[in-house]
């Protein structure tokens, strides 16, 4: 019986959901979906093996922990924070987790939630068990960053046309408090075996309350490509485990910040007609690594020179510039209000 259930789960098509705009919810429901058949697996992820194994163990332990969560009095859910520069594989990691766990994905676009915290709660109630709720690029998604800054009140004159129209429609934004309750408040216990994953390129911009342990239980940094990550990509793209050019790449990749996405682009053959493009692709990657190394050197030299020039400025000159900088800052803040 249990074996039949496992086979059924393996053959079941996974789905990728997106939340519908407020005006479509009454007719089409809160979520629309497509069949999700992303080919990413943990084997194809350009990550250090030890880190991958740690994530896999954590996922397996979570999937078997229903009784344990009930025993300790916690909702059966787990939060993952994926952070790192663009192109380091955060979205691919989510696809690999979905495939490994055989979970559907609910891709929550917070900017489309125009009914505020109430609508957010309804979206949560309309998700299934054994699923992943994803909020990607949360630092760009909403004004939930930087320690709950309060915005200046604006008069009706200062408000943009879009703001006035939104108010007339009764639109409301999701608040940080509403999102925190969504993640681990009373309503978060309405489902079981659920992962909540948020991603960001700038972890330093996020409110500590959002990413503390208990909400985001596991923090996973997806960093620039290592040599081990490169070898996984070389096997995926070129079907090779070793090559005379690997030593050169090993030296360069340890001295350079390059994303797995950039490495993969250089390793991708420009034709699929069966010709061997291995040498060309590896040479392209070496050129890209050398350029990245040189660009980093020039950037560091410029920063050093700028710091030297700033230090050499007379103190009186610095003081004169200060009010101008403050004025510019005020203008920027006003622009952010619109």
Model confidence band, residue 331 (pLDDT cutoffs 50, 70, 90): very low
Query: What pTM was estimated for this model as a whole?
Result: 0.81
150-187 pLDDT tens trace: 444 455 555 565 555 555 555 677 888 888 888 888 87
State the pLDDT at residue 316: 55
Q: Would you tell me how many other CB atoms lie within 10 Å of the CB of residue 182?
A: 21
C-alpha–C-alpha distance, residues 254 and 238, integer Å: 21
Together in a domain, 163 and 233: no
243 in a structural domain: yes
118 in a structural domain: yes
201-253 pLDDT tens trace: 999 999 999 999 889 999 999 999 999 999 999 999 999 999 999 999 999 99
- Between 122 and 59, residue with greater pLDDT: 59
Together in a domain, 120 and 172: yes
258-290 pLDDT tens trace: 999 999 999 998 766 667 889 999 999 999 999
Q: Check: CB of residue 290 under 8 Å from CB of residue 248.
A: no
- Between 194 and 29, residue with greater pLDDT: 194
Together in a domain, 89 and 39: yes
Q: Check: CB of residue 198 under 8 Å from CB of residue 81.
A: yes
> Between vectors from CA 281 to CA 279 and to CA 282, what angle results, nearest 5°?
65
Q: What separation, in Å, do the N-terminal and C-terminal C-alpha atoms of the chain show?
A: 59
Closest CA to 62 of 75, 52, 73, 51: 75
Mean pLDDT calculated for residue range 122-151? 78
Domain that holds residue 131: 2-221
C-alpha–C-alpha distance, residues 55 and 58, integer Å: 5
31-68 pLDDT tens trace: 999 999 999 999 999 999 999 999 999 999 999 999 99
Of 172, 205, 221, the residue that ends a domain is 221
Say whether pLDDT at 324 is over 90: no
Strands 77-83 and 194-200: parallel
Provide the token pair at 89: 């594989």
> Between vectors from CA 93 to CA 89 and to CA 201, what angle results, nearest 5°?
45
Domains in the chain, number: 2
Q: Which residues make Cβ contacts (< 8 Å) with residue 262, sequence separation at least 6? A: 87, 225, 288, 292
Together in a domain, 174 and 122: yes
C-alpha–C-alpha distance, residues 10 and 12, integer Å: 6
């Amino acid at each position: 019986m249990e074996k039949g259930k496992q086979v059924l789960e393996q053959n079941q098509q996974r789905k990728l959901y997106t939340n519908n705009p407020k005006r479509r919810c009454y007719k089409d429901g809160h979520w629309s979906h497509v069949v999700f058949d992303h080919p990413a697996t943990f084997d194809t992820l350009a990550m250090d093996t030890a880190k991958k194994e740690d994530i896999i163990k954590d996922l397996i332990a979570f999937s078997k922990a229903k009784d344990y969560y009930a025993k300790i009095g916690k909702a059966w859910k787990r939060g993952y924070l994926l952070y790192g520069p663009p192109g380091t594989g955060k979205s691919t990691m989510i696809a690999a987790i979905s495939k490994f766990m055989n979970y559907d994905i609910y891709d929550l676009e917070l900017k489309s939630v125009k009914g505020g915290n109430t609508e957010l709660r309804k979206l949560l109630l309309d998700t299934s068990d054994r699923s992943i709720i994803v909020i990607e690029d949360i630092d760009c998604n909403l004004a939930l960053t930087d320690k709950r800054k309060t915005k200046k009140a604006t008069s009706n004159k200062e408000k943009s046309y879009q703001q006035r129209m939104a108010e007339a429609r009764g639109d409301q934004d999701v608040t940080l408090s509403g999102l925190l309750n969504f993640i681990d408040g009373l309503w978060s216990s309405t489902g079981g075996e659920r992962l909540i994953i948020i991603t960001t390129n700038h972890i330093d911009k996020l409110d500590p309350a959002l990413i503390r342990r208990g909400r985001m239980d596991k923090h996973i940094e997806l960093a620039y490509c290592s040599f081990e990550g490169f070898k996984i990509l070389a096997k995926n793209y070129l079907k090779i485990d070793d090559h005379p050019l690997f030593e050169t790449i090993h030296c360069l990749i340890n001295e350079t910040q390059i994303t797995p996405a950039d490495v993969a682009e250089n390793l991708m053959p420009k034709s699929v007609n069966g010709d061997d493009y291995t040498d060309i692709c590896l040479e392209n990657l070496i050129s890209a690594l050398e350029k990245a190394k040189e660009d980093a050197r020039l950037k560091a030299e410029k920063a050093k020179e700028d710091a030297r020039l700033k230090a050499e400025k007379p103190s009186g000159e610095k003081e004169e510039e200060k009010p101008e900088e403050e004025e510019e800052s005020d203008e920027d803040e006003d622009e952010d209000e619109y």
